[in-house]
Structure 1
């Protein structure tokens, strides 16, 4: 009986990859992360949105690369030593996301999560899955599938299929 009571008090815990853009702290579910690589050269694709930096050849696979700073309407920044590319599965494609730096993989329990705030109809925050309280910080947990509309996802998947 006591065992059942203790199990009922245990929260679900998930692992997230924490990374930074400017002074903001974000995270993604570790299950969508394929790998993390150092910044590398990309081949620009004409007539694509500014936030699409191009494609890269990663061990024979063509990976579209997104600058998350530009996607989130932050100022562009030259890559530095800590700049990384996180390869995530988005929809049916692997996509690279340029971030300022990767911090750690953290285990976060349900009790540390809150729903993302609603800002009304003029501000789209659908891509923020949850807000986490972790180490006295607020971390925005992203739903990268919702960071792109259906047309953008289709275009990114088509770029990835050009290999």
Structure 2
């Protein structure tokens, strides 16, 4: 007897919180997770770009994820973490309130994000996942930035590396 079932697959995601909202990023996009450290401000950058850090000789632009998502800024505490991902060959650090876990999520527990109309941009949410009682928004890190923002992040990394 042959079964005709759709094969579901499990993928791993780092889950983290911003306020009470839980988000996830595919584990294969994450380069490193570090404790919050001193961030050097870079003039003439958008408010959500906190500045840069020097991590073992690499200059990495740091994004305040709360500000990027239109949330209020929050005082850093012992749970504040920087999640470093690679976006279009540029390493970018995202400040998050707290990292939760690496969750293995079955594709059958994923659904498309709701559509809120033309005025609400949810392109950066690739899926919604159900983990227990929580709904986790799975982020598409490539869509968190516009092309010109990525170019300026790359330039910020290059100029700071060259000491300009």
TM-score, with structure 2 as normaliser = 0.94
Which of 89, 102, 105 aligns to 1:105? It is 102
Which of 117, 120, 125 aligns to 2:122? It is 125
Which of 150, 158, 162 aligns to 2:155? It is 158
Which of 25, 28, 33 aligns to 1:31? It is 28
Q: What is the rounded CA distance, in whole Å, between the counterparts of 1:76 and 1:44 in structure 2?
A: 16
Residue 139 of structure 1 pairs with residue 136 of structure 2: yes
State the partner residue of 2:59: 62
Q: Which runs of 5+ in 2 are unaligned?
A: none
Measured after TM superposition, the shift of residue 109 of structure 1 is 1.0
Q: What is the rounded CA distance, in whole Å, between the counterparts of 1:133 and 1:146 in structure 2?
A: 22
Q: Which runs of 5+ in 1 are unaligned?
A: none
Q: What is the rounded CA distance, in whole Å, between the counterparts of 2:127 and 2:158 in structure 1?
A: 31
Q: What is the rounded CA distance, in whole Å, between the counterparts of 2:86 and 2:60 in structure 1?
A: 11
What are the within-5 Å matches in structure 2 for residues 15-94 of structure 1? 15-94=12-91
Q: What is the rounded CA distance, in whole Å, between the counterparts of 1:132 and 1:95 in structure 2?
A: 24
Q: What is the rounded CA distance, in whole Å, between the counterparts of 1:122 and 1:101 in structure 2?
A: 29
State the partner residue of 1:149: 146
Q: What is the rounded CA distance, in whole Å, between the counterparts of 1:157 and 1:78 in structure 2?
A: 27
Q: How many residues align?
A: 160
State the partner residue of 2:112: 115
Measured after TM superposition, the shift of residue 9 of structure 1 is 4.9
SS in 2 for 1:69: helix
SS in 2 for 1:145: helix
